[in-house]
């Protein structure tokens, strides 16, 4: 059993392979958090909490004149607003018209086999390998209940959490904040790793010490965003890739979120994570309940590589549901950087012809094929094929592409509408805008109100018509603006935070419909590149366009950051033309290929305009990817050097799960005269095994301890890809 309840000590101890987590119901019925760290026994760790009369730290009801019980200092499992804990909190709620105050005490618990499921929200799944602990807390004064759920994947070293708030009162309950997780550590010597960014520069690695005060990251944009990512790591100063304690926390939610880390006044570090509560006020009528999105966390003392590989494995096996998850992802050419809005069937077929000759699997028709859409100012919402522009029907185009031996994929942006569209002209109220004000435009488009059932039905109908109109096996699901001034004509006066969450529930409903109805279709997520790259989306879309920045060198940093919390199979990456469209950098064709092979591989350029030497190189790249796709998609991934620290060469590697094959890849980012030889140490190999590296034999131990000498760079941004195969 991974979950053990001790009746005498009233402790819940959860064991995973690399951690132990403990909670205790104390003498007042409070659920305290007593241990989280390296695996240990079921001792009652509440002895670590030292009672003491501490100034300005209040006591809960029932503590009487015991001034040593400090709500503001004790580690709590699900801290609430209004009960003398002034740190960052999980829950703020109260009966309508009353001061929001709660005092939650232990009510009951239940342990069961299998992982709990959530309706309408992404969540890990697992039958025999998981257990569920449900702890019910009840407000001391009202019939308000909070169900804390823990899904424990013992062998996979992962625990999930969520909270369900239930109103059994006779009056409505208003929830102003409902976080998914709180982690209270008893000391405050910690650091936070998080991933910030902007459009075309997502998931940049940053590691900061947690000083006194609150470090907060989050999004108020209606999507998890380019700017911050709902995945963070708490670690120690000494933690490295290979050793040291670290705890990764991932929120399975694709909308606005908030993660706060606070170093406490008298030691102690608290991390809370959940949906953004800005302008949030969810009304629960009597008998109703509200479910906070799921959070997943994992602890190891073996450093960042171990943490990342563990999380990737569990996301791959217990989050991604697509039929495509273990299949070779189609190598593709996408029309966006190849043609933008300027194409017809002839041009597309010329690209497809080259793609087929090179050995690619698919042509993806990106933006511009529908309505009146020759730039990004019009047409969103009118999802009828522009046959005049194409010069044929979609079915005719797809049939021709299929005849060349290629599959066909298509881009959609169904969450949005252009004002210059028939959809907007006939349903202006379907777009979100504050009445009486000019709507906020971004990319000249408005957001459709996905909280409304008729809008969702319209989108489902579009998908049905599209998929049934031709042999479409891939959809790129895009979303290209942040959400602002949210107002739903169906629910005038609803707080923006509520509309935002209902929008997300609506989006998940649509994506679930696609998953259920068209399980064979591969859906790739996208939001101006990686503006919605989060574990919530992976539940519906097994891969996500990682960034609109296709420059191989900038992608080094983007892939490095993304690799901390996400499986490489989810990272869509393409080779594009040079000078690069986003930053005008020129890199060798080989380097662009090596960088793009860090995930779901493809091209984003006019293949019909390639130079002969580029064609040869592309043919080889596609063959290498095809031969080794399992390694690239499912191998353990090791960050060998960091582009944020080593400005000369960025090196990474994949090792197959059975350690039979490995590949070490790298890109030189600077050159020097009279340079020292560059060396790199492999990771994750079998120490005693012998590996063949370009005809030379090395033990795994030699490759990992001594390393290898890297090939000398011949030009700017030169790169290498070196295979090791067990002999
Ligand atoms: C977004 C995507 C791009 C492309 C364009 C089309 O920016 O990230 O890949 O699909 O939209 O408008």
3-state secondary structure 85-105: CCCCCCEEEEECCCCCCCCEE
Among protein residues, the one whose CA lies closest to atom 11 of ligand 1: 528
| Count of beta carbons in the 10 Å neighbourhood of residue 695 | 5
Q: Using the mean position of ligand 1's atoms as its centre, give its distance from the Cα of residue 528 in Å.
A: 5
Residues 425, 471 share a domain: yes
Give the distance (Å) from ligand 1 centre to CA of residue 412: 10
Whether ligand 1 lies within 6 angstroms of the CB of 525 is answered as no
Where does the pLDDT of residue 603 fall: very low under 50, low under 70, confident under 90, or very high at 90 and above?
very high
| pLDDT band at 505; cut points 50, 70, 90 | very high
pLDDT at site 550: 98
Task: Identify whether the C-beta of residue 303 lies closer than 8 Å to the C-beta of residue 243.
Answer: yes
Residue 228 domain-assigned (yes or no): yes
In a domain, 429, yes or no: yes
Q: Is residue 642 part of a domain?
A: no
Is the pLDDT assigned to residue 474 strictly greater than 90? yes
Last residue of one domain, picked from the residues 262, 293, 318:
318
Task: Give the count of domains, the chain.
Answer: 3
Position in ligand 1 atom list of the atom nearest CA 526: 8
Residue 224 CA to ligand 1 centre (angstroms) = 17
Asked whether residue 639 is domain-assigned, the answer is: no
CA-wise closest residue to 78 among 88, 64, 63: 88
Confidence of residue 1 (pLDDT cuts 50, 70, 90): confident
- Whether 626 and 653 map to the same domain: the answer is no
The DSSP-derived string for 33-51 is EEEEES------GGGGS--
Q: Is residue 118 part of a domain?
A: yes
Pocket test for ligand 1, best of 366, 475, 571 (most atoms within 8 A of CB): 366
Which two three-digit tokens encode residue 466? 């599209």
What local confidence, expressed as pLDDT, does residue 362 receive?
98
Residue labelled with tokens 């910690």: 190
**pTM score:** 0.98
pLDDT in tens, 279-337: 999 999 999 999 999 999 999 999 999 999 999 999 999 999 999 999 999 999 999 99
Average model confidence (pLDDT) across the chain: 97
| The last residue of a domain, from among 318, 342, 367 | 318
What CA–CA distances, in Å, run from 708 to 96, 403, 677, 692, 722?
Answer: 67, 46, 10, 12, 10
Give catalytic residues, as residue numbers. Answer: 534, 614
Rounded CA separation 441/655 (Å): 46
- Identify whether residues 667 and 594 lie together within a single domain: no
Decide: residue 453, CB within 10 A, 0-12 exposed, 13-18 middle, 19+ buried: exposed
Q: What is the mean pLDDT of residues 378-390?
A: 98
pLDDT in tens, 363-381: 999 999 999 999 999 999 9
**Residue nearest atom 12 in ligand 1 by C-alpha distance:** 367
Neighbours of 263 (CB within 10 A): 21
Residue 250 CA to ligand 1 centre (angstroms): 26
Residue 595 included in any domain: yes
Do both 338 and 298 map to the same domain? Answer: no
Q: Is 528 in the pocket of ligand 1 (CB under 6 A)?
A: yes
**Helix locations, 575-644, DSSP H:** 589-596, 612-634
Does the C-beta of 366 come closer than 6 Å to ligand 1?
Answer: yes
Cα(623)–Cα(560) distance, integer angstroms: 25
Cβ pair 535, 296 in contact under 8 A: yes
CATH number assigned to the domain comprising residue 271: 2.70.98.60
Query: Is 381 in the same domain as 354?
Result: yes
Q: How far apart are CA 719 and CA 710, in angstroms?
A: 10
Distance linking the first and last C-alpha atoms of the chain: 40
User: Does 376 map to a domain?
Assistant: yes
Is residue 445 domain-shared with residue 470, that is, in the same domain?
yes
Strand ordering across the sheet containing 649-655: 636-639, 649-655, 661-668, 719-726, 690-693, 696-699
Residue 325 forms part of a structural domain? no
Same-domain status, 274 and 391:
no
For residue 135, the enclosing domain spans: 3-318
526, 533, 541, 571: residue to mutate for ligand 1 pocket, most atoms within 8 A of CB = 526
């Amino acid at each position: 059993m991974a979950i053990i309840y001790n009746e005498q000590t009233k402790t819940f101890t959860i064991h995973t392979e690399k951690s132990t987590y403990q909670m205790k119901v104390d003498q007042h019925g409070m659920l305290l958090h007593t241990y989280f760290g390296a695996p240990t026994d079921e001792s009652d760790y509440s002895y670590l909490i030292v009672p003491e009369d501490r100034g300005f730290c209040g006591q809960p009801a029932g503590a009487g004149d015991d001034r040593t019980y400090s709500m503001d200092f004790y580690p709590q499992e699900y801290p609430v607003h209004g009960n003398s804990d002034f740190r960052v909190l999980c829950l703020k709620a109260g009966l309508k018209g009353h001061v929001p105050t709660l005092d939650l005490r232990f009510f009951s618990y239940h342990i069961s086999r299998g992982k709990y499921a959530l309706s309408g929200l992404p969540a890990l799944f697992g039958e025999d390998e998981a257990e569920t602990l449900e702890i019910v807390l009840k407000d001391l004064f009202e019939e308000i209940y909070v169900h804390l759920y823990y899904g424990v994947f013992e062998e996979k070293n992962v625990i999930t959490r969520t909270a369900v708030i239930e109103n059994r009162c006779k009056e409505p309950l208003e929830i102003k904040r409902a976080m998914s997780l709180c982690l209270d550590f008893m000391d405050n010597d910690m650091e936070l790793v998080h991933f910030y960014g902007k459009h075309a520069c997502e998931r940049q690695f940053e590691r900061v010490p947690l000083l006194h005060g609150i470090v907060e990251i989050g999004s108020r944009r209606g999507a998890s965003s380019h700017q911050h990512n709902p995945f963070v790591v708490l670690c120690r100063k000494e933690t490295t890739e290979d050793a040291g304690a670290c705890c990764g926390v991932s929120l399975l939610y694709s909308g606005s979120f908030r993660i706060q880390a606070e170093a406490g006044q008298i030691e102690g570090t608290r991390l809370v994570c959940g949906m953004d509560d800005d302008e949030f006020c969810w009304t629960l009528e009597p008998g109703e309940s509200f479910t906070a999105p799921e959070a997943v966390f994992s602890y190891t003392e073996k450093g960042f590589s171990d943490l990342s590989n563990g999380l990737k494995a569990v996301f791959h096996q217990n989050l991604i549901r697509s039929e495509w998850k273990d299949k070779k992802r189609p190598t593709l050419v996408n029309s966006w950087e190849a043609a933008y809005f300027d194409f017809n069937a002839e041009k597309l077929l010329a690209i497809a012809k080259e793609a087929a000759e090179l050995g690619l699997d698919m042509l993806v028709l990106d933006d511009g094929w529908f309505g009146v859409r020759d730039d990004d100012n019009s047409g969103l919402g009118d999802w009828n094929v522009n046959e005049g522009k194409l010069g044929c029907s979609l079915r005719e185009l797809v049939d021709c592409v299929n005849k060349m031996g290629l599959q066909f994929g298509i881009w959609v942006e169904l969450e949005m509408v252009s004002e210059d569209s028939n959809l907007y002209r006939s349903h202006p109220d379907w777009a979100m805008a504050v009445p009486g004000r000019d709507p906020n435009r971004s990319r000249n488009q408005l957001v459709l109100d996905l909280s409304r059932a008729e809008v969702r039905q319209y989108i489902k109908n579009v998908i049905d018509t599209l998929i049934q109109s031709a042999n479409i096996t891939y959809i790129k699901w895009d979303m290209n603006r942040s959400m602002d001034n949210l107002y739903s004509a169906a629910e005038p006066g609803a707080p923006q935070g509520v509309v935002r969450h209902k929008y997300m529930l609506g989006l998940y409903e649509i994506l679930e419909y696609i998953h259920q109805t068209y399980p064979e279709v591969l859906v790739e997520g996208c939001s101006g590149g990686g503006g919605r790259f989060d574990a919530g989306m992976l539940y519906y879309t097994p891969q996500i366009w990682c960034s609109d920045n296709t420059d191989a060198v900038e992608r080094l940093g983007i892939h490095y950051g993304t690799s901390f919390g996400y499986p490489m199979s989810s990272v869509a990456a393409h080779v594009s033309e040079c000078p690069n469209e986003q930053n005008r950098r020129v890199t060798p064709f080989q380097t662009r290929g090596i960088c793009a092979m860090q995930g779901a591989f493809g091209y984003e350029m006019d293949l019909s305009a390639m130079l002969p030497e580029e064609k040869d190189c592309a043919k080889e790249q596609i063959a290498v990817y095809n031969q080794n796709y399992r390694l690239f998609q499912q191998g353990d991934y090791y960050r060998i050097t960091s582009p944020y620290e080593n400005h000369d060469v960025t090196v990474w590697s994949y090792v197959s799960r059975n350690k039979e094959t490995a590949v070490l890849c790298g890109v030189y980012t600077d050159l020097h005269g009279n340079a020292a030889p560059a060396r790199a140490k492999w990771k994750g190999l079998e120490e005693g095994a012998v590996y063949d590296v370009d005809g030379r034999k090395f033990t795994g131990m030699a490759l990992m301890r001594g390393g290898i000498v890297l090939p000398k760079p011949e030009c700017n941004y030169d790169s290498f890809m070196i295979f090791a195969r067990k002999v």
